[in-house]
Amino acid sequence: MTHTILRTLAFALITLASLCRAETHAFHWVTGSIGGLSDRNLAMLIPVAIGNKTCDMQIDTGANGSVIWSAESNTNEQNNSLTVKFGTIKATTTAGPTVLEAIERCTPGSPVGTLGNAFFERGTLVIDSVRRQLGYQPGSGLAGNNTAQRFFYATWAPADATWVPTGGHILIELQTSQFGKGYGLLDTGAALAEIGVLDELWWKRLVGAKAMTGENITRFTVNSWGKQVECYLAQTTIDVTLDTFQLSLRNANYCPTLHFRPPVRVIGIVGMYPFRNSVLTIDYPGRLWLVQ
């Protein structure tokens, strides 16, 4: 009996310590319409301390790296060391004159860069879409949670790469009613998406044979790295659900000329739209995730 009480007390103290270390920050959505579609959330932005400035940056779990600048630096420019700080998280990176100028002139609502998985991977990230709050605590925040599900933290690089990749990509399990299970890449940077299919095979599987010409197909264009890319949007004709959570993906989009082909077989990119009324928790050290 005494041992049971002591174990319970120890667990409570550990939980209390974890809660005390947790921090919460407000974020805001950039909203708008793409290609004539109805208004949706397009990007999740948070104010970040960059050197002696505070600028907005995007939270993007579709990016494996730590800090990715929006402005392109000239390879001949001399890079300077720069500290990026969000709450208790710090990262040291480099930036050239072009990036430093963008930071100096930054304005709210216009992100100067992206924070990817490597920035948060030593702790647990909590995204409350309803309250527009971003929580973080060091270490595993979902340890011992029986309703949390495993994710696969995949790291890859081109076969001829001379660099070592940082961070990873969060692959969660999707269940389809006719074609079994597959992976979805969890991407908070794709804020407006439910599932962005990566190849024509899965596009036809999810929305039917008339995937490009059907009357219920919506065509739209997006700007990708300065180029206008044609995309398609349609309702799914089969059931697609997220792991064991009671969330269905009812709309899919597909951009044939966007050539993102990960070496791991992935059905598509799962954006933030399915979690618009939920709290999404990503426990990087424990490789666990939860939707509430």
**Amino acid 74: pLDDT:** 64
- Backbone φ, ψ for residue 129 (5° rounding): -70, -30
**Amino acid 36: pLDDT:** 67
19 pLDDT more than 60? no
Residue 1 lies in a domain: no
113 pLDDT more than 80? yes
Residues 181 and 120 in one domain: no
- Give the structural domain span for 177: 149-159+166-280+287-291
132 pLDDT more than 50? yes
Residues 123 and 154 in one domain: no
Q: How far apart are CA 43 and CA 113, in angstroms?
A: 12
Domain count within the chain: 2
**Amino acid 156: pLDDT:** 81
Strand order in the sheet with 23-26: 23-26, 133-138, 123-128, 279-283, 288-291, 149-150
pTM above 0.75, yes or no: yes
Residues 87 and 207 in one domain: no
How much is the average pLDDT of 48-69?
95
**Amino acid 2: pLDDT:** 47
How much is the average pLDDT of 56-76?
87
Residue 14 lies in a domain: no
**Amino acid 192: pLDDT:** 83
150 pLDDT more than 80? yes
Supply the DSSP symbol for 79. Answer: P
Residues 113 and 204 in one domain: no
159 pLDDT more than 70? no
Residue 233 lies in a domain: yes
